[in-house]
Structure 1
Amino acid sequence: MKKVALLSTLLLAGSALAASPKDTLVLQYGSDVPTLDPGVAYDTASGEMIENMYETLVGYKGNSLKTLEPVLATKWTASNGGKTYTFDLRKNVKFHSGAVMTCTDAEYTFERNLVTNSAESGNWFIAESLLGTQSNANDDKNVTWAKIDKSVECNSKGQLVFTLPKVDPAFLAKLAYAGQSIVEKKYNAGIGEWDGTEKTWKSWVGKDLTGSNLSKKPNGTGPYRLVKQDANNLLFQAFGGYWGKAPTIKNVIRQKVTEIAPRQQAFLRGDADVIEGGGRNVDEAQIKGKPGVAWVDNLPNTTSTVIFMNQNIKATNLLGSGKLDGKGIPANFFKDANLRRAFSYSFNYQQYIADVQKGKGKQRTMALPDSFLGYDPKVSTYKFDKAKATQYFKQAWGGNVWKNGFTMTVNYRAGSVPAQTAMEILKRNVEAINPKFRINIQPKQWSEMLSASKKGEEAMVMIGWAPDYADPDNFIYTFYASDGFYSPRSNFKDASIDKWVKQARATVNTAERSRLYSLVGKRAYEQAPYILVPGGVNYTFYRNNIVGVSASTYNPMTSGTLGVLWKDLSKK
């Protein structure tokens, strides 16, 4: 306890240790952590913290993306033609509060997620499974307390029973998502969260939980508990009441260090064990092969990253004059498909691959990892072509873009070298086409940019997507559907794409799904709703005294950069 107290004092005060102690893991990232409430977390920075404090009913086994294993459940059965799932729950599991987990807590967890569900939380897909709609009760009057209550219940044997309105082959995989982690009903009610009753549920419908009391005072069943936090640091301690094997790593410190140079220096000194890098080109030059560094390469990449071009920009501070007069842009600037095509031809994809991925990357034809069902390598792609970019700039807005020019402001995630590099490439190439074109780029904190992009306030924003569950629908629907999760970032709508996505979601025929996804990809190429950022070959690096990281343990469904949970790590 004395060592933990000392670490808390030193690190939360910003002092550096000579070296990370053997029982302590120090992580440094460029971003902050938007929330610690699993009911609303929908980003990887939050996800890593939640995955190690909380637990789900099931999880992925080893490095598999398909095989699930019990976590807080011990077994389950499907019945009623695949519309009923019954789970036996693990006994003698304790929350960090000291309370023993019961079926009531599990039932409350899913009811809370259904009640507070919003388009910007990670609960829309579980709501779709259990209620037949992605919406909450405010947006869909067919969502009632009776339906929520019936969808998940505890039976007389203390088993958790889910009742689905229709078969969902991805349902079990959805339960492995960190946002479905089990929380304690009594504890939540005691700190002012929803009490789980029909009497109060209406006042919690769609409520934003980002800064909730549970986010401030987390309480999971996981191997680590939060003991202290400030604006830049989170300190976790191994939970002595954990039901599983006691972690070897007793303390985990997560620090926000925005600039990459201090992160690199701390890592090479041994003050930090794991850091957010700067992309392959930077990391191979500055980190790989240095004393004390372990490097694992050729890992699977199951993320997809794009630069959104927002067709309805709701933040006036990015628009300058708000007119197409050379001093600004109108809010619907990117509504013109010719303009979007011009920007797509202005991005130098091969330069990004060389500068960020050191040649280990390739252009994708769709916003879908090429290892997933439905990826069509034959869909056309944009190439950097100044002549074609010029052609489409001259056609955009009836020639007024070329004639008048424009000035716009674009934000990128502070501390992210790949994002900064991408925006610098785009800025340089666009401005070189016409001296009347001006793009101002500036860094922005991740939580602020995430919040603004949810509201449609960013003009252009580079964001990736890591799958919630291993199915192509999680990408296709997210990126392409006009009511998909990322729709507010682009405000793009195409009737044909919406029709094909809907048809693909209604069939389990893999050949038909692939055909429909190919149509989506081809149409998206024509309409250019965003710039597809090349996909790299994944790698990770860490201090070489850490044990437990390898290609055989790395699971891309895990939010952390190491692809494993903290409890599975140790130090030599």
Structure 2
Amino acid sequence: MKKLVTLSSLLVISAALAASPADTLVIQSAADVPTMDPGVTYDTSSSALVDNMYETLLTYDGASLTKLVPQLATKWTVSNGGKTYTFDLRKGVKFHSGATMTCADAEYTIERNLVTNSGASGNWFIAESLTGSQSNAADDKSITWAKIDKSVECNNAGQLVFTLPAVDPAFLAKLAYTGQAIVEKAYSAKIGEWDGTEATWKDWIGKDLTGSNLSKQPNGTGPYRLVRADANNHLFQAFDGYWGEKPSIKNVIRQKVPELAARQQALLRGDADIIEGGGRSVDEAQIKGKPGVTWVDGLPNTTSTAIFMNEKIQGKGNSLLGSGKLDGKGIPANFFSDVNVRRGFSYAFDYDGYIKDVQKGQGMQRTMLMPDSFPGYDPKVKKYTFDPAKATEYFKRAWGGQVWKNGFTLTANYRANSVGAQTAMEILKKNIESLNPKFRVNIQSKQWSEMLADSKKGEEAMILIGWAPDYADADNFMYTFYASDGYYSPRANWKDASVDKWLKQARSTVNVAERNRLYSLIGNRAYEQAPFILVPAPVNYTFQSSRLSGAPITKAGFNPMTSLNWKDLSKK
């Protein structure tokens, strides 16, 4: 008890210390922690903590995005033409409760995720693999208890067996996602979570687990356990019963500190070891090169961002359309359905200027809407350059010459308080309007929540939006962006029969070379059809106290798919 009191005191007074102790890691962030329940973890703030308390069946091998290694599993086999996966589970693994992990816990975890699956939970992609649908039983009547129960079972040998309705080459990568971390069945039921039975499953269909009892009282197999928490502080302690190598750092304090200046000062004083920064321009000016700080640059970026050009703008009387005609005072709802318009806009964006002004020279223009570090990315696919002459050429062809002759007035929104989004739209506005005095692009800020909702309904004419990966597979990006039934389809309303065919073929084969060939075909077709303006990707960087060392904070050991593993750090 005395030990707990000492740690609790440290949690409160650490901001006043001259330097944090060598056995304690102090992390400061501006963000809240929405949940600590793995089943609904779908944000970076939550996963940063959940990933250190819980573990998945398998995980990424160091910095590799392609090699998966056992974690709570020890090995696995694939059979039945790629539709059956059988996992041997690690023996002697303890939960923080003291209970020993069994196959029943792993089965319960996956079934719980399928039962409670919702668009906000991040379980839609594992549901798609195991039930053939992204939806839960309330939204898709084909999802029955029998289907859920059959998809994951423990056999007589105590092995965990997954049975898929169709081949899914990304299935293993999906199992490495935070949301599939194993929870204890008996403990969860005891504290009021679903009991794992058919008798009660309907009561939990699509249920929001954000504030669940498991979120309040987490219980994983990971190297750290939660000791206490309040609205602004979380205190973790190394778990004595951990099955793996024991962490060298005993205590971890995660503090919510909204003010950037306060976080910066804490890092420079030595009160904090890791802080949330303020963006490259701010961090380079105020943090880089300062005593006691290690800066690591040139890290891979696994997000992709584009400006969508909506080919079927929805909404009766949508004010973004102006007159709704090609009369110089507006645009028709299908303005972007002419490929010449899309190509004109694509040639009018200054990619190098964006890299220089927004990314401070640390950016990369990609050929496809997926990370260049992912298998399937083809650097040989053509890409657009800033070329006013070519932009003019295509605008003169657009709509049988009517665009150039009559001009147009387009209104586009951008995310309020986002310098990057605003600058991108300002670049586009300036360059488009310089081509023809009859061209007018009006831009205006809009709250992000409203933009997301309206874009999902297809009511935004243009929207700059990005995607961060759920799992390290090209499908998570390619289908999201390019499929006519993909997650982002309502934002662009672009449909190409060949692309849809190639995407489905890529989903149905485990042949890596064939999948890569298909993705190259999609990339080249997308270049020709120009459904999006591909916004350059920034180069990642990180920084932390020089007292820290360990593979995850080095360039060679950094993995953008995983949270920072505290157990792999040491501090002097």
Residue 430 of structure 1 corresponds to 429
Count how many residue pairs are aligned between Structure 1 and Structure 2: 555
Counterpart Cα distance in 2 of 1:31 and 1:347: 33
- Residue type of the alignment partner of 2:467: G
Identical-residue share of aligned pairs (%): 66
Counterpart Cα distance in 2 of 1:505 and 1:532: 24
Task: Give deviations 1:90-140, integer Å, cap 9, x for gaps.
Answer: 334333344332221111111112222344543333233333444433444
The more displaced of 108-117 and 57-66 is: 57-66
Residue 415 of structure 2 corresponds to 411
Counterpart Cα distance in 1 of 2:410 and 2:269: 46
The more displaced of 227-236 and 460-469 is: 227-236
Task: Give deviations 1:329-357, integer Å, cap 9, x for gaps.
Answer: 99988777666556544543212322444
Shift of 1:501: 0.7
Shift of 1:52: 1.1
Q: Residue 40 of structure 2: SS of its match in structure 1?
A: coil
Residue 236 of structure 2 corresponds to 236
Change (3 A) 1:320 1:363: same
Task: Give deviations 1:478-500, integer Å, cap 9, x for gaps.
Answer: 22223334445555443332222
The answer to whether structure 1 residue 9 and structure 2 residue 12 are counterparts is yes
- Residue type of the alignment partner of 1:209: L
Q: Residue 563 of structure 2: SS of its match in structure 1?
A: coil
Residue 291 of structure 1 corresponds to 291
Shift of 1:467: 5.2
The answer to whether structure 1 residue 348 and structure 2 residue 350 are counterparts is yes
Residue 502 of structure 1 corresponds to 504
The answer to whether structure 1 residue 465 and structure 2 residue 500 are counterparts is no
Counterpart Cα distance in 2 of 1:315 and 1:231: 41
Change (3 A) 1:403 1:300: closer
| 5+ residue gaps, structure 1 | none
Query: Are 1:303 and 1:467, in contact at CA under 8 Å, matched by a contact in 2?
Result: no
Q: Residue 143 of structure 1: SS of its match in structure 2?
A: coil
- Residue type of the alignment partner of 2:223: P
TM-score (norm. length: structure 2): 0.82
The more displaced of 524-533 and 143-152 is: 524-533
Shift of 1:180: 0.8
* RMSD of Structure 2 on Structure 1 (CA): 3.9
Shift of 1:473: 2.0
Residue 485 of structure 2 corresponds to 483
Query: Are 1:19 and 1:271, in contact at CA under 8 Å, matched by a contact in 2?
Result: yes
Change (3 A) 1:65 1:378: closer
Query: Are 1:343 and 1:430, in contact at CA under 8 Å, matched by a contact in 2?
Result: no
Change (3 A) 1:558 1:436: same
Q: Residue 405 of structure 1: SS of its match in structure 2?
A: strand
Residue 559 of structure 1 corresponds to 563
Decide which structure has the larger Cα Rg and report it. 2
Change (3 A) 1:490 1:156: same
Counterpart Cα distance in 2 of 1:401 and 1:187: 70
Query: Are 1:322 and 1:331, in contact at CA under 8 Å, matched by a contact in 2?
Result: no
Change (3 A) 1:382 1:235: farther
Residue 420 of structure 2 corresponds to 421
The answer to whether structure 1 residue 369 and structure 2 residue 371 are counterparts is yes
The answer to whether structure 1 residue 544 and structure 2 residue 546 are counterparts is yes
Query: Are 2:320 and 2:411, in contact at CA under 8 Å, matched by a contact in 1?
Result: no
Residue 48 of structure 1 corresponds to 48
Counterpart Cα distance in 2 of 1:393 and 1:162: 53
Shift of 1:321: 4.5
Change (3 A) 1:379 1:69: closer
The more displaced of 526-535 and 450-459 is: 450-459
Query: Are 1:467 and 1:475, in contact at CA under 8 Å, matched by a contact in 2?
Result: no
Counterpart Cα distance in 2 of 1:337 and 1:34: 42
Q: Residue 297 of structure 2: SS of its match in structure 1?
A: strand
Counterpart Cα distance in 1 of 2:197 and 2:102: 17
Counterpart Cα distance in 2 of 1:245 and 1:482: 47
Q: Residue 172 of structure 1: SS of its match in structure 2?
A: helix
Shift of 1:220: 1.9
Residue 436 of structure 2 corresponds to none
Counterpart Cα distance in 2 of 1:334 and 1:351: 24
Residue 380 of structure 2 corresponds to 378
Counterpart Cα distance in 2 of 1:444 and 1:229: 30
Change (3 A) 1:404 1:537: closer
Counterpart Cα distance in 1 of 2:307 and 2:272: 31
- Residue type of the alignment partner of 1:420: V
- Residue type of the alignment partner of 2:215: S
Query: Are 2:170 and 2:475, in contact at CA under 8 Å, matched by a contact in 1?
Result: no
Task: Give deviations 1:292-348, integer Å, cap 9, x for gaps.
Answer: 1112334344443334456688999xx994652599999988777666556544543
Task: Give deviations 1:452-497, integer Å, cap 9, x for gaps.
Answer: 877878762432323513x322321222223334445555443332
Residue 519 of structure 1 corresponds to 521
- Residue type of the alignment partner of 1:553: G
Task: Give deviations 1:214-243, integer Å, cap 9, x for gaps.
Answer: 334433221223444455554433334433
The more displaced of 433-442 and 152-161 is: 433-442
Counterpart Cα distance in 1 of 2:532 and 2:49: 30
